[in-house]
Amino acid sequence: MAGSHPYFNLPEFTQPSPPSTPPSLPSHQRCQPSDATKGLLVALLGGGLPAGFVGPLSRMAYQTSNLPSLELLVCRCLFHLPIALLLKLRGDPLLGPPDIRGRACLHALLNVLSIGCAYSAVQVVPAGNAATVRKGSSTVCSALLALCLESQGLSGYDWCGLLGSILGLIIIVGPGLGTLQEGTTGLYTALGYVLAFLGGLTLSLGLLVYRSLHFPSCLPTVAFLFGLVGLLGSVPGLFVLQTPVLPSDLLSWSCVGAVGILALVSFTCVSYAVTKAHPALVCAVLHSEVVVALILQYYMLYETVAPSDIMGAGVVLGSIAIITARNLSCEREGKVEE
């Protein structure tokens, strides 16, 4: 028979077989970003980059209409008050649960002091240098506080990136500290750097307090409390210590509005990130604010950027890359794969 011939027993090639596809993993086995990865990316993109615009825009508002720092803080706090509507719609207490209301108000007070020191510093020293000192001090203090109070250490790679980032900040601000002028000008400049350092110290304390808050609607509650405490503290201080100014030009109002919106975005992202990653690593990633501030300082404020600033910014970016790459990981089947 023809069918018994070996040539007639070949496989059928007229219909090509469909290509084999690898079996899809169940949803619980797929690779998902870890909490540390999410926190650092949110801190980098939503915290550091928008915050880099705040300092130069604040300085521009001061140069345009002599807007006092406390008045700028009042305007920023006003952007936090509408969050009360969200809390009311959800049926949550505006000031948080009674048992942790004191800590929530302490967190708001520390953040108000940090922002007030930062706004005052950028009026007497370059915006990039003020951001450099504030972020550097917040990183060092966060690492020490987390190590001493929470017994939460860092890996060798994290310490390498952390110290490299601090080294970049020293390269940026070191030459300026070594050439302080004598007399009143030098005194005001030194005071600006001291305020920037105190701003970083209170920021690290505020982040540590926020990590101890665990209740529903924690983030919108502390955001609203920041606006409320900031208004209660800065409005009397504005009329006692400074002279209120009503801006008459569109540029000043635009700067004030941009500062309020960008600062609110940065506040929200940093508060979220610090619950997912180590606070010292979050502060180190926030050093991207310094790089953005230096760029805007040169292109918007037409202030000189020294070669040491560029070198230090490069070191900061390299350190951020080390920290981010070290903590980039995914979770699968309950395990972390780097």
User: CA–CA separation, 41 vs 210, rounded Å?
Assistant: 19
Contact yes or no for 250/238 (Cβ under 8 A): no
Computed over every residue of the chain, the mean pLDDT equals: 78
Higher pLDDT, 250 or 145: 250
What's the rounded Cα separation, in Å, for the pair 23 and 16? Answer: 20
Q: Where are the alpha helices (DSSP H) in 69-183?
A: 69-78, 83-90, 101-121, 127-149, 156-178
Say what the pLDDT of residue 298 is: 82
> Given this model, what pLDDT does residue 150 score?
58
The answer to whether 287 and 137 have CB atoms below 8 angstroms apart is: no
**Tell me: the pLDDT tens digits for 90-139?**
888 888 888 888 899 999 999 999 888 887 887 777 776 777 788 778 87
Percentage, residues of the chain above pLDDT 90: 14
**Per-residue confidence (pLDDT) for residue 154, from 0 to 100:** 64
pLDDT digits (tens, 9 = 90+) for 170-200: 887 777 666 555 555 667 777 888 888 898 8
What value, to the nearest 5°, has the Cα angle with vertex 297 and ends 263 and 45?
A: 40
Q: What is the pTM of this model?
A: 0.76
User: Between 173 and 265, whose confidence is greater?
Assistant: 265
Collect all residues with Cβ–Cβ distance below 8 Å to 59 and sequence separation of at least 6: 122, 123, 127, 301
Residue 329's pLDDT band (boundaries 50, 70, 90)?
A: low
> Quick one: how far is CA 241 from the chain centroid?
29
**Stronger pLDDT, 80 or 318, i.e. the higher one:** 80
Q: Calculate the alpha carbon distances from 157 to 125, 163, 164, 282, 327 in Å.
A: 33, 10, 10, 15, 9
For residue 309, pLDDT beyond 80: no
Q: What is the pLDDT of residue 313?
A: 78
What average pLDDT score do residues 260-282 get?
Answer: 87
CA distances (Å), origin 302, targets 214, 222, 255, 296: 45, 36, 17, 8
Q: What is the pLDDT of residue 258?
A: 93
Under a CB-based contact definition with an 8 Å cutoff, are residues 202 and 169 in contact?
no
